[in-house]
Chains A and B, each alone.
Chain A
Amino acid sequence: MNLPRSLIIGGFLFAVFLLAAILSFVWTPYDVEVLNIAAKLRPPGATHWFGTDHFGRDIFSMIMVGARTSIAVAIVAVGIGIGLGVPLGLWAAANHRSWLDEVIMRGNDLVFAFPSLVIAILITAVFGPSAINAIIAIGIFNIPVFARISRGGALSIWTLDYILSARVVGKGTLRISAEHILPNIANLLIVQGTIQFSLGILAEAALSYVGLGAQPPTPSWGRMLADSQTMISFAPHLALFPGFAILLTVLGLNLMGDGLRDILDPKIRRLRQ
């Protein structure tokens, strides 16, 4: 099977950052928590590939560890969305047109109506700025996204003949949802998951930029950008590298999402052939 080009490019971009994040657990060129004022604000060069910040910390190493923060926050936030949203959506679809369906979907509408970033700011502000609270704040808004998409996908499958046969055999709602519906909406969930993942990276960056994400000394891309802001006129490299890291990771995930949709969505797949 020939893969769509967007999937290859996007997958490559994301893989670079994912590998950097994993590698950072065992190795970084320099220790990101050790300050070296003598080497502060070095421009990019042979000893420090991306230069150093105002505390003399190596930017390249900080980007590697920052990748870990960003990816971890976004993955868990997507996990919250899938873990809670998908069961809710399946439950609503299995009880289509009942009060339960109505309550779940109206609740979803409500969360959708909130300006998510404002509420995320509120949540992190109330419970204290930390990576965990950023995850919760971002994750909450993933729940209705996955609930809606799995309900929509499930509703169309519930009308099919093989579901009727499953019922005749005596399978209950729960088993049908788990054994027949879920595998059939997995494609939708994978594509949506990639999109929410990239939105999560952007949201984490925005929250840590305003100081409500991961706290120092844990490096995070948003925090690095916030720190660089006052020094941008004489040390622009401080702002360039973390920004490009966010841009390329998000771009990679978005391209991957497009490519996966091309492969996994039967309607688009037929068009391509």
Chain B
Amino acid sequence: MLRFAATRLISLSLSLLAASVVIFAVIEVIPGDPASFMLGLNAEPDTVMALRDQLGLNGSILSRYLSWIGGMLSGDFGTSYTYRVPVSELILARIWISLPLAIYALLLSTLIAFPVGLIAAARRGKASDIGIMASTQLGIAVPNFWFAMLLVLVFAINLRWFSAGGFPGWDQGFWLGLKSLTLPAIALALPQASILARIMRSSLLDTLDQDYIRTARAKGLSRRQTITRHALRNAMIPVLTIIGMQFSFLLAGAIIIENVFFLPGLGRLIFQGITQRDLIVVESVVMLLVFAVISVTFLVDLAYAMADPRLRRRK
């Protein structure tokens, strides 16, 4: 187990290293100089040079890369060109919207998908199964930002149950904060729940075809008991993989959905950074998202290996 964890950890570090090089390289080719952008068209060249120096833009590419990475490892993400505050502060202020939103959506997606997938599998071929499969087809095809707009139209504009956007801040109370994340979370969760329900169904059906299920039935367990005691646990492995992968979709999806609901999260921060040529903000937030996604994948791998010894030996 330890050896498995160690090799996975090495490949995690290599992925992160490669990711950082790619992100840094992409940002490096951005046209436009942030210093002259900030100072405006009439800036004197030596003022621009001085600002470049202050922002640390004058070193060689390698030294800038190393200082970026070194800084991030010690928690220093650099200083935003436009806000003039540490990027870590900007991220900290916004991560408390994006992260809870992604987790909220993941919970919703799982809570919807489990019973739905279970019902569809238990009633294979019946009307409820066909109905569920048809609606999940629709759920997968819906663009989540459009679904978000429809939710706003129905629940915020017409019914007035929720506000159409914005975030009051967690200091206004937990429930108020949660309420303003509810429509965005539903919009994010629905397509993912549709995918998950289909995986859940097919994984359960695969398991139900196994010999040990027939044995369980033969020794007198009811269909329900067979599913809950034997099939469900074994069907969970592919379902868990997808849940792990969905976290990455949800984080990325949150970036788009934040735009629909005017939520001041990481997504808004990235877009502001892009329009204002605030490169250090963009590269740090993107790196953080990649780090989160790669780490979650790593944790899911590890969780499997703990649950299923066969996977440990395969590598």
Please report A residues at the B interface, Cβ cutoff 8 Å.
Answer: 106, 109-110, 113-119, 121-123, 125-128, 198, 202, 205-206, 209-210, 222, 225, 228-229, 232-233, 236, 239, 242-243, 246-248, 250-251, 254-255
- The answer to whether A109 touches B15 (Cβ under 8 A) is yes
- The answer to whether B256 touches A247 (Cβ under 8 A) is no
| Interface-lining segment among B33-41, B175-183, B282-290 | B282-290
- The answer to whether B256 touches A251 (Cβ under 8 A) is no
Give the bracket for the number of chain B residues in contact with chain A: 35 or more
Q: Does B218 sit within 8 A of A, measured CB to CB?
A: no
Contact residues in A for B141 (Cβ distance below 8 Å): 198, 246-248, 250-251, 254
Q: Which B149-175 residues have a C-beta within 8 angstroms of A?
A: 149-150, 152-153, 157
Closest to B297 in A: A113
- The answer to whether B138 touches A247 (Cβ under 8 A) is yes
C-alpha spacing A45/B282, complex, angstroms: 45
Contact residues in B for A222 (Cβ distance below 8 Å): 143
- The answer to whether A113 touches B293 (Cβ under 8 A) is yes
C-alpha spacing A235/B128, complex, angstroms: 36
- The answer to whether B149 touches A115 (Cβ under 8 A) is no
Given contacts A113-B19, A122-B26, A254-B137, A232 and B152 within 8 Å (CB-CB): yes
Given contacts A225-B149, A232-B152, A254-B140, A117 and B253 within 8 Å (CB-CB): yes
A241 to chain B, nearest CB (A): 11
A-B contact count (CB 8 A): 110
C-alpha spacing A31/B118, complex, angstroms: 51
What are 11 A-B contacts with C-beta separation under 8 Å? A109-B15, A113-B293, A113-B294, A115-B248, A118-B289, A122-B26, A126-B27, A225-B143, A225-B145, A225-B146, A247-B143
Contact residues in B for A127 (Cβ distance below 8 Å): 29
Please report B residues at the A interface, Cβ cutoff 8 Å.
Answer: 11, 15, 18-19, 23, 26-27, 29-31, 137-138, 140-143, 145-146, 149-150, 152-153, 157, 248-249, 251-253, 255-256, 259-260, 270-271, 274, 282, 286, 289-290, 293-294, 297
C-alpha spacing A113/B20, complex, angstroms: 13
C-alpha spacing A202/B146, complex, angstroms: 11
C-alpha spacing A109/B289, complex, angstroms: 17
C-alpha spacing A247/B137, complex, angstroms: 10
- The answer to whether B293 touches A210 (Cβ under 8 A) is no
C-alpha spacing A123/B274, complex, angstroms: 11
C-alpha spacing A110/B260, complex, angstroms: 30
